[in-house]
Amino acid sequence: MIAKRLCIIGVGLIGGSLARAVRAAGECEHIIGCGRNEASLQTAQKLGVIDSYSTDAATAVADADVVVLAVPVGAIGSVLTQIRDALAEHAVVTDVGSSKGSVVDAVKAVYSDIPVFFVPGHPIAGTEQSGVEASFAELFQQRRVILTPVAQTDVGALEQVTQLWQCAGAQVSTMSPEHHDAVLAATSHLPHMLAFALVELLNQRDDSDEIFDYAAGGFRDFTRIASSDPVMWRDICLANADALLELVDDYTQGLSRLADMLRNGDADGLLKTFEQSKQARDRFIG
């Protein structure tokens, strides 16, 4: 059994789905949830996602073997401060934040250095939905989880968090926090910025109702991620601002080159770019 007592702080889509998966795998005895919204915790308990709950983080982590921080990355420092003196001696703590450099910084701001029992992590899974009602045990099946241990991270703690995600069906790999942030800025954070920016642009038009009325499946899929939780994405973008700003700059230059081709009627240049993109995307899907 991976954890007798598992504490999930933030029982939303990710935290709730992990709780469901660990329970389904029979890898814990008791799951205690924690959050600020008691109604949501009651729902989670009614749904059988958690066994008990507390709105007080220090109370929630008492005696827990594994503590998962499934809150927006901007809230991690505050939660760590609340639980610091209440953690069991053997407790392992991990998080699910989409940026890892900022989480490492937040942990360092509370502790003098990353404690051996803290394993920064990020499941690359999710939907545009939020909240425990949207959670499901299969969310992490066949999905990747990146753990970003630092030099002093305890090998046993890393192994325990690895097993936690593996029992939920995920493929776990490790890399440095910096490398994680560069990769995710490209594959996730930039696309979210681009999708938010497109919907914002169209929404500001006088004819926005008509525009959306004639939008089809391509637009629906392209903008799906713009329905994601705004607070979560504000935090992620700010937390990974450096890597993201560099990419926005690169992207703007690439888009400007495409626009130049269009302006100059460069049919061959456009075709070559579109062909290469299609090949790369088809390869990725295949």
Phi, then psi, of 147 in degrees rounded to 5: -105, 140
Q: Per CB under 8 A, does 21 bind a copy of itself?
A: no
Query: In whole angstroms, how close is the CB of 122 to a copy of itself at the nearest point?
Result: 10
Q: Per CB under 8 A, does 218 bind a copy of itself?
A: yes
Q: By CB under 8 A, what part of segment 110-129 binds a copy of itself?
A: 124-128
What does the alpha-carbon distance between residue 235 and residue 232 come to, in Å, rounded to a whole number? 5
What does the alpha-carbon distance between residue 93 and residue 158 come to, in Å, rounded to a whole number? 10
Q: By CB under 8 A, what part of segment 237-266 binds a copy of itself?
A: 237-238, 241, 244-245, 247-252, 254-256, 258-259, 262-263, 265
Among 78, 141, 159, 274, binds a copy of itself (CB under 8 A): 274
- Residues 235 and 73: beta-carbon distance below 8 Å: yes
DSSP per-residue string spanning 79-116: HHHHHTTTS-TT-EEEE--S-SHHHHHHHHHHSSS--T
Query: In whole angstroms, how close is the CB of 42 to a copy of itself at the nearest point?
Result: 25
Q: By CB under 8 A, what part of segment 168-197 binds a copy of itself?
A: 183-184, 186-188, 190-197
Phi, then psi, of 37 in degrees rounded to 5: -100, 105
Among residues 28 and 236, whose Cβ is nearest to a copy of itself?
Answer: 236
Among residues 151 and 286, whose Cβ is nearest to a copy of itself?
Answer: 286
Among residues 109 and 245, whose Cβ is nearest to a copy of itself?
Answer: 245
Q: Per CB under 8 A, does 73 bind a copy of itself?
A: no
Among 25, 58, 116, 270, binds a copy of itself (CB under 8 A): 270
What does the alpha-carbon distance between residue 41 and residue 32 come to, in Å, rounded to a whole number? 10
Q: By CB under 8 A, what part of segment 140-159 binds a copy of itself?
A: 143-144, 146
What does the alpha-carbon distance between residue 235 and residue 44 come to, in Å, rounded to a whole number? 24
Residues in the chain: 286
Q: Per CB under 8 A, does 80 bind a copy of itself?
A: no
What does the alpha-carbon distance between residue 144 and residue 137 come to, in Å, rounded to a whole number? 15
Among residues 62 and 186, whose Cβ is nearest to a copy of itself?
Answer: 186
Stretch that binds a copy of itself, among 11-19, 59-67, 148-156, 231-239 (CB under 8 A): 231-239
Q: For residue 140, which of 124, 120, 156 has the smallest C-alpha distance?
A: 124
